[in-house]
Structure 1
Amino acid sequence: MKNYLKFVSAILIAAVLSACSTGGGADNPTAGTNNTGNEVTPDMTSTTTPDEIYGKSGLLKNSTVVFTGDSITDGYRVDRSDPNDLGKNNYVTMFNDFIQTNFPEDNIKVYNTGHSGYWIQHLHDAVQSFVYDLDPDYLIVNIGTNNAWFDKSPIETVEKEYRSLIDELMAKTHARIILVQPYLFECDTILDGVPTNEYIPRMNQISDIVCRVAAEKKLPVIFYSEIFRQAMDKMDFVYKPLLSADGIHPSTNGYRMFCDALCTEMKLLGYTPKFRFDFTDIKTQYGIVSWSDVN
């Protein structure tokens, strides 16, 4: 009988030790998983991978890109009530052509709601149809040029209106936003356009507003001033009419340079820019983030 009791005790002790070493202990990293039918086991195989979200372009699959602003974005649209009208030979059509030609499987939709003559407040009044109704995943905002000459309100009012617009866009959309720094060429004997010189000081103030707001909101910027300055500094054959015929609206070359800067900043895969620009100094000056810092 004693031997039988010893045998039973040994079995019980072994069972207890086994339970302590394999079940529910705090030191056991597998404790509490895959033990009963009532417990939920994390299924790592069902986790969405970047390849299932991002397309070959580097942008989100099935995403919507909206360009909005004034005549510089408008780019000779015929029907301004139709966001599918992208215009002609502008940076929106160039961007769209690259996406649709190289990455049709990404199913990316591009819209243009730029409107010639618009000020900041005009765009703000139109954001429902220009932006919200289109539900953008990416939003490029280029506005402020017309506030340099048509708008006679104090510069403090312009800043307040711009901040209000950007705050609302950030609050009411889920879009990744890129701001565009507005810019005017200095007029000279080569340019056959409006006398922009008298408006340049105010334009510089508006450009400063855009850059400061971008820094505060951690939004990337495409810098028109740097694009054109570097083009003229580095390319002896480039003179102003090849970039802008009137000091305001880009030529086809000017639009191509902007598209190059935008696609490079957004790191579109497979994009080879004809023109390359370095925004390091002005980004550092204002403390502006790069696209890759926030996306």
Structure 2
Amino acid sequence: MKTIFKAGSTVLFQGDSITDWGRDGGLLMDMFPEGGGALGKGYAYRAAKIYELLFPHNPVNFVNRGVSGDRCQNLLERYQKDILEVKPDYLSIMIGINDTWRRYDSNDITSKEQFETNLTELLEKIKKDLPDTKLMLIEPFLLPTDPEKEIFWEDLGPKIEVVRRLARKYADVYLPMNGILTNSLIEKVPTEELSYDGVHLSDPGCAIMAKEYLKAWAAIEK
């Protein structure tokens, strides 16, 4: 089996709570009293463990810098420390759900236009400062677990379209997680088995995302 990442490379997971998921130094550590570990307990951890099992003789450095609650503006503010200084060879970014969520729980609105401006600025920085870094954009998602979040779609849908459009311009690979998870539901996986609130993934949901994450990288590294 051909390896996915080059030996000795650094693979950086970047995003919000879905990426953070209890990592040491993150904002969800209290979810895991025994310690979430450097990679947390979500899809990033599972992707790294699957990779290590598949390719034990091709070690890479997996780094998780996701921060719970982050919006795209926060990623811009953390860019120097949590992206540029890490110097990743492979970088994945999943951001956007909190740009929507804060509209409904705090009346703190990030318009589609501002979201696009922020994400474009972030991607321009990455391409300028890290021209050899392979970039994956991951589509934010919302599952129909919580009926009260159905209204989120009027805000999130346009932001997903922004991510898709910018991925065509800047990314080496795009991971359409909303579509992938929706297909899992069509295949009769109960919604509550994937996410308790429509946003944060369960263990089975994280396992699906980890598998799709590695498949997406493998497709461009053939």
Q: TM-score, with normalisation over the residues of structure 1?
A: 0.66
Taking the aligned partners of 2:194 and 2:3, their CA distance within structure 1 comes to 28
Give the aligned CA root-mean-square deviation in angstroms.
2.3
Taking the aligned partners of 1:224 and 1:102, their CA distance within structure 2 comes to 23
**Greater Cα radius of gyration, structure 1 or 2:** 1
Q: 1:129 aligns with which of 81, 99, 105?
A: 81
Note closer, same or farther for the CA distance 1:188–1:91 as it changes in structure 2 (3 Å cut).
closer
Contact 1:68–1:142 under 8 Å retained in 2: yes
**2:39 aligned residue:** 86
Taking the aligned partners of 2:4 and 2:150, their CA distance within structure 1 comes to 40
Query: Across the two proteins, how many residue pairs are aligned to each other?
Result: 209
Whether 1:138 aligns to 2:84 is no
Aligned to 1:179, the other structure's residue is in SS state strand
Whether 1:70 aligns to 2:22 is no
Return the offset for 1:188. Answer: 4.8
Taking the aligned partners of 1:185 and 1:106, their CA distance within structure 2 comes to 36
Q: 1:167 aligns with which of 103, 114, 124?
A: 124
Return the offset for 1:218. Answer: 4.7
Q: 1:156 aligns with which of 104, 113, 117?
A: 113
Return the offset for 1:197. Answer: 1.4
Taking the aligned partners of 2:180 and 2:194, their CA distance within structure 1 comes to 10
**1:233 aligned residue:** 186
Taking the aligned partners of 1:188 and 1:100, their CA distance within structure 2 comes to 35
Aligned to 1:104, the other structure's residue is in SS state coil
Return the offset for 1:201. Answer: 1.4
The letter for the 1-side match of 2:56 is P
**1:46 aligned residue:** none
**1:224 aligned residue:** 177
Aligned to 1:166, the other structure's residue is in SS state helix
Aligned to 2:91, the other structure's residue is in SS state strand
Aligned to 1:266, the other structure's residue is in SS state helix
Q: 5+ unaligned residues in a row in structure 2: which ranges? A: 28-36, 103-107
Return the offset for 1:104. Answer: 3.3
Higher relative contact order (CA 8 A, sep 6+): 2
Return the offset for 1:229. Answer: 1.1
Contact 2:15–2:66 under 8 Å retained in 1: yes
Taking the aligned partners of 2:87 and 2:16, their CA distance within structure 1 comes to 20
Contact 2:145–2:195 under 8 Å retained in 1: no
Correspondence list, 1:195-274, <5 A:
195-234=148-187, 236=188, 238-267=189-218
Q: 5+ unaligned residues in a row in structure 1: which ranges? A: 1-54, 190-194, 268-290
Whether 1:180 aligns to 2:138 is yes
Q: TM-score, with normalisation over the residues of structure 2?
A: 0.86
Contact 2:120–2:166 under 8 Å retained in 1: yes
1:79-110 deviations in Å (ceiling 9; x for gaps): 229xx71101x111111112223323322000
Contact 1:187–1:197 under 8 Å retained in 2: no
Identity of aligned residues (%): 26
Contact 1:66–1:113 under 8 Å retained in 2: yes
1:124-178 deviations in Å (ceiling 9; x for gaps): 1101121111110000101111001214032211111111111111211121000
Return the offset for 1:244. Answer: 0.5
Aligned to 1:106, the other structure's residue is in SS state coil
Aligned to 2:57, the other structure's residue is in SS state helix
